[in-house]
Structure 1
């Protein structure tokens, strides 16, 4: 897979991507995530895009670290959320037991299956005991390039199989939603909350 090509896409289209995603209402998904966090939780917004979710978590009093692979998005997200955003690839996550929650909304879906397995292992390692991960994938069985970016889609079965290979976490909740962006309601998403074991 071509990580560089996907990152290049986001660098070139950063402003349009931010404009298309910044006002999407994820309040019901936020509620699922934060209801499982301790009060003074530290969260990693992993692939933070526009900074929309970072800004929300900060407004709720959480400590938030934000990271993205696109330098352009790091700059825009940092301006919007008001904190520095770390420029890094998913594969570069090396924290150990640092976070109560990792929020990976529509982000790690740009990894190949082999890379996704490695990154999930790193994410679980970065969680404190019984920490949680929220992540989401387009619903389906496609893997490859689409609209200038690499995607891996997931179903309940394919994700469960992947997580069995990874180990160290269980699926605590999963549900399917329609795309929240205007005119995209026919697109389905698989939402998952994982709990470190």
Structure 2
């Protein structure tokens, strides 16, 4: 039997992203970020006229941020201490939707903070990469952590035995995001979240399978 596995997102789980991103797009692109609901793209508006950016304009801004501005990011409170505690009991893999182009930079970013974990720069739903990790590693129990409800649904479909924790570690947006229906718990504070994760690892049993729609 192999070690337990914790698969975690990065942005708004381990590292602040929207706050430094908002400062950068304001300074460099004349774009305001005002998140009024769960829509990231809809929060981006031109400073001069207030019109929302087109969907096709959003990814180039995100790509530019990850390409040149990742040093603006800083850890979510308690995240690195929690990873150290969890790493004593489980393997950790960071599964982040920055894409393959920014995978190495993300790994270096986290390693500089003391988290020397494998990083997978994915795109799209996270269910399939989680399933592949389970097939490769055969963990005794697995926990998935992410801030986006869609990824919890994707993992519930592809890897229903995985425990799923919904975390939005950025206080500026946490209150605007409803709990993910396909997560087993919603916890936005790392002290409480680490206890929940360690309890799941200690129990060492598969997650209850969801009612999928």
TM tier, smaller: 0.3 to 0.5
Structure holding more strand per residue: 1
- Provide TM-score, normalisation by structure 1: 0.42
For CA contacts below 8 A with separation 6 or more, give which structure has more relative contact order: 2
Between structure 1 and structure 2, the one with the greater Rg is: 2
- Provide TM-score, normalisation by structure 2: 0.40
